[in-house]
Amino acid sequence: MWQAVQYRVVQDLTNDSNHAFEDFRTAQRWVGEYPSKDFKEVCALAGIEPDFLHPKLVKMGRATEAKHMSKARKRAIAAE
């Protein structure tokens, strides 16, 4: 079950759809810049090493955020 939670976080962090932006932000906040107590606990329950997973999730989130920003810039330019 806890692996499914982590899987959902990966899905939310990599979804660059405008419709899923709130889910993306929620996942990004939960992952955070540094692993929180809750993050570490979920990793432990899932049998995943948080120090291994956390940097990968942060990187995924940053890549998706860049895609969101690029789309927003394109929409702004198109609206001009």
pLDDT in tens, 5-56: 999 999 999 998 888 889 999 999 999 999 999 999 999 999 999 999 999 9
Q: Which domain holds residue 19?
A: 2-79
pLDDT at 71: 85
CA nearest to 15, candidates 26, 5, 1, 4: 26
> Which residues, in sequence order, are CB contacts of 29 under 8 Å at separation 6+?
none
Query: What is the number of domains present in the chain?
Result: 1
Joined tokens for residue 42: 């979920």
CA nearest to 33, candidates 13, 63, 64, 58: 58
DSSP code of 32?
-
pLDDT at 79: 84
Distance CA 59, CA 13 (A): 9
Q: Does the model's pTM come out above 0.85?
A: no
pLDDT at 74: 84
pLDDT at 35: 92
